[in-house]
Amino acid sequence: MKFYARSLGAALTSPVSRNKVRLLFGARQVGKTMLLRHLAGAATAHVVDLGVAATRRRFEADPDAFRREALALPRRIATVVVDEVQKVPALLDEVQALFDESPRRHQFFLTGSSARRLRRHSANLLPGRCHVFRLAPVCAWESVCGEPVDWPGALPPAAPGPAPAPPFPRQGLERTLLYGSLPGVRAEAPATAAATLHAYVENFLEEEVRREALVRDLGAFSGFLRLAALESGRQLNLTKLSQESGVPASTLKTHYQVLEETFAGGFVRPYARRARRRLLVTPRFLFFDVGVRNAAAGLPFDAGLLAVEGPALLEQWVGQELRARAAILGRGHEVSFWRTAGGAEVDWVWESPALDVPVEVKWTTRPAPGDARHLHAFLDEHPDRARQGLLVCRCPEPQRLSERVLAVPWDRF
C-alpha cells in the first residue's frame, strides 16, 4: 500500500521524544504499523510483529529472548519496532531493561490497540521513560482539501524539512459519512469498503472481545455494540439504555469501558469552564470512525442513509475530526461539548491552551444568522476564553454570519 503523510509523524520524530520510548496507541487499521515502519526506515530498523502467531508464541515462552536479540543487533540497526505489544505485555519489562542499560543505543517504537489488556495484566507502562501518542483515522489535515479558514485548530503542526510523503487523496462528503476514514477503506471501491467494514466489526468481536475474554457473554456484547453504535454522539443515559436493552446499567458501563480501552470510541466530557448557567454534566460517547459506526449499527451503505442520518453523521464526523487534531497537537488540546439545563447547546468546543472555540454543525447548504444563536450564547458566557465561533455546514464557500461567527464548508474548517 502506498504511504501517505500522517500529521502525527512530526511529533513521533521530534527531538523532544528522541531519548524516550514512544508508545503509539490506536484502534486496529488506523495505520500505526505503516507509519512506524515508514518513520523507522527498513534498512535501520528491527521489527517485531506480535500479530504473527509464531513470533508471539516464541516471546510468550521466552520474553528474555527479545532482550538477547536486541543486544545482538548490529550497530547500524538503531530502531526497534514492536507491533501490538499488548499481545505479550512481558516484553515491556525487557524494553525497560534495555532502555535503562543504554538509553541511547536503541530508539524504541511500540504500538498497541488494547490498553485494557495491558491494564488487566498489570503491564509495565514504562513510567518516566515513555511518551504516549494516539493515532486516529485519516483526518482533514492529512488529505487534499480546500484552503482552510483561519482559526486556532485549522492548521497542523509544521513538520521539519520537506514534505515526507503526499497527502491522502480527497474524499467527498457522501463517501466520508458512509464509509469513514480508515486508510485502507478509503482506497477501496464502495462494495469492497462495505464488506471490509462489516468484517472489521466481526473481527473486533472475535479478536478483541472473545479472544481476550473481555466480557463473559459475547452474544449480549454484540447486541450492546449495535445499540452503542446507534447511540454514538449522544449523551449517555445508562438507565434508559438498560430499560430498552434489558442489560443492567453496571454491565453497560463496563461494556462502554471495553470500547474506550480498545480505542473503538471515547467519552467526550462537558465543557467545564466556570459558568453562570447550570450545565448538564453527562458525557457523550463517540465512536472513533463513522464507517465503523455504520457497520456496527447494521445500517445500509447507500445514499439513502444520509437522508435520515446525514445531520447526525456530519456532527459525529466533525467531533471525530476535532478529537484527531487534539490528539496530534497533544497536551492542552481537548474537545468537549456545551449544553445547559435551559436547552442551549453547542455541538463541540475546541479547547486549546490560549483560546476555546465553539463549533456548531448544521446539515444546511444555506446557513443563516439564526443558526448561530447558541454559538453567541456560548461566546457571551465565556468572553475571556472564546472570541469566535464556527458553524460547520455544507455551504460551498465561507460566510460571515456575524462579527464573531463564521460559517465554513465541512472540508475547509
The answer to whether 106 and 80 have CB atoms below 8 angstroms apart is: yes
Residues 185 and 248 in one domain: yes
Q: Are 128 and 236 contained in the same domain?
A: no
Phi and psi at residue 233, in whole multiples of 5°? Answer: 90, -10
Pick 292 or 207 by higher pLDDT: 292
The answer to whether position 298 is within a domain reads yes
Q: Look at residue 196 and tell me if it is in a domain.
A: yes
Q: Residue 129 carries which DSSP code?
A: T
Question: What is residue 244's predicted lDDT score, i.e. its pLDDT?
Answer: 82
Sequence-ordered list of residues with C-beta below 8 angstroms from that of 84, at least 6 positions apart, any chain = 49, 50, 51, 111, 112, 113
pTM of the model: 0.92
pLDDT of residue 104: 85
pLDDT band at 160 (very low <50, low <70, confident <90, very high): low
Helix axes 249-261, 238-245, angle to 10 degrees: 110
Q: Is the model more confident about 151 or about 169?
A: 169
Quick check: is 72 in a domain? yes
At residue 220, the 3 state secondary structure works out as helix
Q: What is the mean pLDDT of the chain?
A: 89
Q: What is the pLDDT of residue 200?
A: 94
With CA atoms as reference, report the closest residue to 67 among 105, 29, 39: 105
Query: Do residue 120 and residue 14 come from a single domain?
Result: yes
Domain range holding 238?
A: 173-269+283-310
Q: Are residues 240 and 287 in the same domain?
A: yes
Report which listed range, 89-98, 108-117, 126-135, 361-370, is most confident. Answer: 361-370
Whether residue 114 is found in the same domain as residue 184: no
Return the residue matching grid coordinates 467519552.
267
Whether residue 163 has pLDDT greater than 60: no
Question: Containing H/E element for 10?
Answer: helix 8-12
pLDDT in tens, 355-368: 999 999 999 999 99
Rounded Cα–Cα distance for residues 355 and 153 (Å): 10
Structural domain total, the chain: 2
Position 161 pLDDT exceeds 70: no
List CB contacts of 283: < 8 A, sequence separation 6 or more. Answer: 235, 236, 267, 268, 269, 270
Confidence of residue 320 (pLDDT cuts 50, 70, 90): very high
Quick one: 37 and 119 in the same domain?
Answer: yes
